[in-house]
Structure 1
């Protein structure tokens, strides 16, 4: 007789190296929630980052996870999980933990279990936090050797910021992330400034739900949805506004939905970015399965921490490597 699954979850805090600033504020630590599902002497792990932007807190996420012990004891599996919980951070942690457990139980790597291509080493973006143009230029200059940089902008003065960053990194490909901070009055001017600076992609310039202007203007460079896109169901309504979508496991509610979402986004003609929150390698590892479908990979979360968890992903110069089985999958 198969033993029932036991769930253990907890909140973890990981100091950030310095400060991480976007248009919504600054933080000095990453607060993650870990889920561990054990069965038959094996343990599957998953990590999530509750996001206040979507009304999530670590404490509420932990409570939601703890409430899933009874369904797991009754035989809830990963497929049933997709309807038993809504998309979001809690389901992400549990979905990834169940996938890790499935792989360990089968004695296979998770991509073989799922019938997906094995992930390969790939270039990841590196994020420059929002600050004054001078401070952002100085931070950029230190990493100007990296081929792909993601620049956090925040509203007033963004033209000067992006110009300063471009001067500091003349050879790097630049992604700009406004985190919903632009307005209908500044949108076209800021997009032009980005185009003039040779920016490759602009992420979420307008607030989600207030982005209809993107369908009515000529976009001088590709625009990517982040806060406006969550799961597969949100994709069709974005086709006239965005050229790309940022898939994050914490938004989608796990790798299971994120894989379906990536397939659907490709079918609709979107370019794909694989993104992350500031978190440890345990959050990044499942997202590596999506990188072969991605035009842009932004999995630099552990690089922004003062320290990663033991056995984390290998980052070598600009490259991130697939996880070892001991970490995940």
Structure 2
């Protein structure tokens, strides 16, 4: 029986304005690909990201361009050669994984040769704001064991200190979203060290991160915008201690699994991250959670509402997906 592809754009309001160094947003705009065959349907969700030159319209067009191949029986292996890494390939790849699992009557983690996923603690993200506002947000979230703090201003030291004062027991991840520069890198690293920060994500622009090889990294540094798929790994040597694997960057779970293995062989720690999306986008990434030092899959916690059925979240603990959602 021939496969059938459908593509939809969905808008999910956020619970609060979400701000990073590049700007603010009030909704998550996602693209969902559904591939049906033999009475089963697999789904994959992606989040087009302007930082990587993506638009919603462009991602939809890229998925639609593969309709003939998909409906003729495209498999995940061939997909890797047809579509470049990015959001469009992620949606197709995850839909194919989901469909394969449903047709086989087997969980996706078993088909992938991975360990069975377990409940995991995810980071919870604090938006960028004035120090007082971030201190207030930190106080409200201080019961959470792991907080991710968005930064990227000329006065980040005061924000780091404010968050630490109001969330004294939480582990902190700092995400500068390329907002620091070589001339303030060392001072910001010291501020992070003084606050007992666990990890710093992408402090410098991806195009100008050579200074990371010249400075003492007194807090481990994680590549985000500098790392997409396995082709990005070679240039990270000496600059980073960890990588943030996001399925939307890697182009799906297939590449993410291979990327995780190669990065671990290079002695890089893993962070499993996400764009702001629904539980459908988080579910495939949870298959890699057991290999990661840090998990940042809090997208649904930032939404005004999640899709039903969604992932089960209790506080900062997230459970693996049920087959009715994905995989």
Structure 1 residue 263 corresponds to structure 2 residue 249: no
Would you say the 8 A contact 1:5–1:73 is kept in 2? yes
- Please give the per-residue CA displacement for 1:168-201, whole angstroms capped at 9, x wherever unaligned: 0011100000000001111111111111111111
Cα distance between partner residues in 2 of 1:35 and 1:318:
28
Partner SS for 1:175: strand
Q: Secondary structure at the match of 1:283?
A: helix
User: 2: CA distance between counterparts of 1:267 and 1:5?
Assistant: 37
Residue 220 (structure 2) pairs with residue 222 (structure 1)? yes
- 1:180 correspondence with 2:216: no
Q: Deviations over 1:98-153 (max 9, x none)?
A: 00000000011111112111100010000000000000000010010111000000
Inter-partner Cα distance in structure 1 for 2:70 and 2:144: 44
Instruction: Report the Cα offset of residue 73 of structure 1.
Output: 2.5
Residue from 124, 127, 130 that aligns with 2:128? 130
- Which one of 2, 7, 10 corresponds to residue 8 of structure 2? 10
Given candidates 83, 90, 95, the residue that maps to 1:92 is: 90
Q: More deviation in 72-81 or 93-102?
A: 72-81
Runs of 5+ unmatched residues, structure 1: none
Shift of 1:233: 1.5
Question: What corresponds to 1:282 in structure 2?
Answer: 280
Deviation at 1:22, TM superposition (A): 0.2
Q: 2-side partners of 1:174 and 1:149: how far apart?
A: 5
What is the CA–CA distance in structure 2 between the aligned matches of 1:114 and 1:169, rounded to whole Å?
Answer: 38
Give me the whole-angstrom Cα distance separating, in 2, the residues matched to 1:104 and 1:190. 48
| 1:222-245 per-position Cα deviation (integer Å, ceiling 9, x unaligned) | 000000000011112202000000
Deviations along 1:7-30, one digit per CA (max 9) or x if unpaired, are 100110000001000000000000
Is 2:236 the partner of 1:242? no
2:225 is paired with a residue whose SS is: coil
Task: Tell me, yes or no, if the aligned pair for 1:4 and 1:72 is still in contact at 8 Å.
Answer: no
TM-score by length of 2: 0.99
Q: TM-score, normalized by length of structure 1?
A: 0.98
Equivalent residue, structure 2, for 1:320 = 318
Report the secondary structure of 2:90's partner residue: helix
Q: Secondary structure of 1:235's partner?
A: helix
Give distance in 2, aligned partners of 1:49 and 1:73: 23
Alignment counterpart, residue 49 of structure 1, candidates 47, 50, 68: 47
Task: Measure the CA separation in 1 of the matches of 2:225 and 2:111.
Answer: 31
1:251 is aligned to 249
CA-atom RMSD in angstroms: 0.6
2:202 corresponds, among 197, 201, 204, to 204
Q: Paired residue for 2:151?
A: 153
In 2, the alpha carbon distance for the partners of 1:112 and 1:127 equals 31
2:189 to 188, 191, 195: 191
Q: What runs of 5+ residues in structure 2 fail to find an aligned partner?
A: none
SS of 2:219's equivalent in the other structure is: coil
User: Following TM superposition, where does structure 1 have runs of at least 4 consecutive aligned residues deviating by more than 3 angstroms?
Assistant: none
Offset of residue 280 of structure 1: 0.1
Q: Which moved more, 1:39-48 or 1:65-74?
A: 65-74
Q: Distance in 1 between matches of 2:71 and 2:167?
A: 53
Alpha-carbon distance in structure 2 between the residues aligned to 1:159 and 1:239: 27
Query: Offset at 1:71?
Result: 1.0
What CA distance in whole angstroms lies between the structure 2 residues aligned with 1:200 and 1:111? 29
- SS state of the match for residue 324, structure 1? coil
